[in-house]
Chains A and B, each alone.
Chain A
Amino acid sequence: KAGVTQTPRYLIKTRGQQVTLSCSPISGHRSVSWYQQTPGQGLQFLFEYFSETQRNKGNFPGRFSGRQFSNSRSEMNVSTLELGDSALYLCASNPTGQGDTEAFFGQGTRLTVV
């Protein structure tokens, strides 16, 4: 069974640009969550989607948005990039979307904003 796939793995963008990251969950998994990982802040929850609906959102500005498609694939978008957005963005899928089941993580997209 294929794991969670995130593309691209690495990305360099200029301040002010926008970026779209993609995540393909494990087949059959309907829940997709996104996290931002930085050395100073650790893993910060961005949002969670289940069956194309955003059910939960972390404390991030509106520049961060996402969506989920009918095949459960998800994208997140960051507009007007800032230097502080440089981070590893991790996507995780979950078969049930319930709190008692573990998340399966992709390898992440390393975003560098210059």
Chain B
Amino acid sequence: AQSVTQLGSHVSVSEGALVLLRCNYSSSVPPYLFWYVQYPNQGLQLLLKYTSAATLVKGINGFEAEFKKSETSFHLTKPSAHMSDAAEYFCAVSVSGGYQKVTFGTGTKLQVIP
């Protein structure tokens, strides 16, 4: 079975500062990893995904994440936070060859301080 741990349920950064949201995964087989963003009263939207190609994955809105197998991590970063980045972010894992059963982390709410 796979699982995901997101460290920090709330993260606050100043506008223009680095955004770092942490995600560690556990999987007995090669994983596929995703970051989704959720704005209030909305569904989830894909930011980026890792599917065993390049370990550094670039996504939408300037976000990127690096897959580190040795650390079982897939942290999300953005060099400079914008007010519009305030939302909840979810890391998720699914397994290769498996059905569409995605396991989500508990989410990290990002607050951007002007």
| A interface residues with partner B (beta carbon < 8 Å) | 4, 31, 33, 35, 42-43, 45, 48, 50, 55-56, 58, 90, 92, 94, 97-108, 110
Majority DSSP secondary structure for residues of A touching B = strand
Q: How far in angstroms is the closest Cβ of chain B from A98?
A: 7
Whole-angstrom distance between the alpha carbons of A103 and B49 in the complex?
11
Whole-angstrom distance between the alpha carbons of A26 and B59 in the complex?
22
User: Given B46, B104, B107, which contacts A102 in the complex, CB threshold below 8 Å?
Assistant: B46
Whole-angstrom distance between the alpha carbons of A52 and B84 in the complex?
39
| B interface residues with partner A (beta carbon < 8 Å) | 32, 34, 36, 41-46, 49, 51, 90, 94-107
Q: Cβ of B43 and Cβ of A33 under 8 Å apart? A: no
Residue of B nearest to A33 (CB): B100
Residue of A nearest to B90 (CB): A43
User: Given B36, B41, B49, B101, which contacts A107 in the complex, CB threshold below 8 Å?
Assistant: B41
Q: Cβ of B99 and Cβ of A48 under 8 Å apart? A: yes
When distances are taken between beta carbons in the complex, the residues of chain B under 8 Å from A90 are: 43-44
Q: Cβ of A56 and Cβ of B90 under 8 Å apart? A: no
A-B contact pairs, 15 of them (CB 8 A): A4-B43, A31-B100, A42-B104, A43-B104, A50-B100, A92-B44, A98-B97, A99-B32, A99-B97, A99-B101, A99-B102, A100-B51, A106-B43, A107-B43, A108-B41
From known contacts A43-B90, A43-B104, A45-B103, infer whether A99 and B43 are also in contact, taking CB-CB under 8 Å: no
Q: Cβ of B99 and Cβ of A102 under 8 Å apart? A: no
When distances are taken between beta carbons in the complex, the residues of chain A under 8 Å from B106 are: 42
Residue of B nearest to A96 (CB): B100
Top 10 closest pairs, chain A to chain B, by CB: A105-B43, A99-B94, A43-B104, A42-B106, A99-B98, A105-B44, A102-B46, A56-B101, A100-B51, A100-B32
